[in-house]
Amino acid sequence: MKAFNDLADFSPETIRELLQLANYLEKNPQPTALSGKVLALLFLSPSLRTLASFQAAMTRLGGGAFVISPEMSIHGIETRPGIVMDGVAAEHIHEAVPVIASYADAIGIRAFGQRKNLADDLADREFHAMTELTDTPYINMESACNHPCQSLADWKTLDELHAGATNKKLVLSWSYHPKSLPLAVPAATIHMAAMRGMNVTVLRPDGFALPEPLMAKARAAANLSGGSVTETNDRKDAMQDASIIYVKSWAATNNYGDAREDLELRAELHDWRINEDWFTSASSDCRFMHCLPVRRDVEVCENVLDGPRSIVIPQARNRMLAQMAVLHEMLGRR
């Protein structure tokens, strides 16, 4: 495996094999599988779960990781192409990426994207400008429009919940958040759920519809898997018979990158805070998922987040297990 960038690059069968490997590694520790192997972790955006789970994953497999972030270099790392470097930054990503990658057997990169130009972000241009600088196998640790490690872990979480029943209803719901957040998780989630054969409903207020290319990609996956993808702004309609509500806030897409309009739109949307009332028409065992971090009593009420519906902690733990499978596949001996 030369890259783990997008679940869409793999067949559903390959994904299922990766998850079998994850389950196998969970039950059968392999503490020398990656002896002497090195994973570079480059964080151009902040992280908690990804930072911790990748280091833990490498240790469990007998290898090791090192972490680089801009503040560790001299006055930060410049990312803009073609710039005369007479300002603060003393190092350019053009050297930093290939150098770091040259010390490692694989490199994980996190870069959220600029959220200015929709076409740039949909194509993950900033992210791929970096991956093109090296031949070292790479892992997308969240780019502007993808988060395959989260999606692989979420697939595993859904398998643990519903086993063979892949055609359950999953609602991806926007939630209120004081800040304008990236599209990576919603984009990756609807595609993953569609690819897994689920019936996906995107629930979001007006002005926050997911860009059509993301919806089209998810619909294409659903066509192959027997799932479906719809969208609505009607909460009751969306939640009818839902088995999963996957909550995530994201930026306004009406005029993507227009910070003022985004702020005006979301100022009216404080009631997009998930509480128990949302579940009235849902399946009685409807579960609450969230990729974390989550703002308590802003995105979701405490009684849901801390209640029996919430599976956010095992969901987060699956990050490590899913990544162990990816690392084993990418770096293990044949």
- Contact residues for a second copy, defined by CB under 8 A: 29-32, 35-38, 40, 46-49, 51-53, 55-56, 58-66, 68, 72-75, 78, 82-86, 90-92, 94-96, 98-100, 102-104, 178, 292-298, 302, 306, 312-314, 316-317, 320
Query: 264 is written with which tokens?
Result: 């005006």
- Cβ of residue 263: shortest distance to a second copy, in angstroms? 14
- Cβ of residue 209: shortest distance to a second copy, in angstroms? 25
- Cβ of residue 175: shortest distance to a second copy, in angstroms? 12
Question: Considering beta carbons, is residue 73 or 233 the nearer one to a second copy?
Answer: 73
- DSSP code at position 274: B
Residue 5 CB: number of other CB atoms within 10 A?
18
Question: Considering beta carbons, is residue 53 or 201 the nearer one to a second copy?
Answer: 53
CB of 91 closer than 8 Å to CB of 317: no
State phi, psi for 331 to the nearest 5 degrees. -115, -10
- Cβ of residue 262: shortest distance to a second copy, in angstroms? 17
For tokens 């029996």, the residue is 308
116 alpha carbon, distance to own chain's centre: 20
Question: Considering beta carbons, is residue 59 or 232 the nearer one to a second copy?
Answer: 59
| Residues 141, 109: Cα–Cα separation, whole Å | 5
| Residues 258, 60: Cα–Cα separation, whole Å | 44
- Biggest distance spanned by C-alpha atoms of the chain: 61
20 alpha carbon, distance to own chain's centre: 20
Question: Considering beta carbons, is residue 49 or 309 the nearer one to a second copy?
Answer: 49
Question: Considering beta carbons, is residue 182 or 227 the nearer one to a second copy?
Answer: 182
- Cβ of residue 86: shortest distance to a second copy, in angstroms? 5
Question: Considering beta carbons, is residue 42 or 122 the nearer one to a second copy?
Answer: 42
Question: Considering beta carbons, is residue 92 or 162 the nearer one to a second copy?
Answer: 92
The amino acid that residue 304 corresponds to is V
Element (H, E) at 221: helix 212-225
The upper half-sphere exposure of residue 220, i.e. CA atoms within 13 Å in the direction of its Cβ, equals 7
The b-or-e profile of 24-55 (16+ CB within 10 A means b, else e) is ebbeeeeeebbeebbbbbbbbbebebbbebbb
- DSSP code at position 2: -
- Cβ of residue 289: shortest distance to a second copy, in angstroms? 13
- Cβ of residue 87: shortest distance to a second copy, in angstroms? 9
| Residues 20, 154: Cα–Cα separation, whole Å | 14
Sort 250 into a burial class: Cβ within 10 Å, 0-12 / 13-18 / 19+. buried
Nearest to 143 by CA among 4, 293, 324: 4
- Cβ of residue 245: shortest distance to a second copy, in angstroms? 17
Question: Considering beta carbons, is residue 36 or 164 the nearer one to a second copy?
Answer: 36
Question: Considering beta carbons, is residue 95 or 241 the nearer one to a second copy?
Answer: 95
- Cβ of residue 284: shortest distance to a second copy, in angstroms? 25
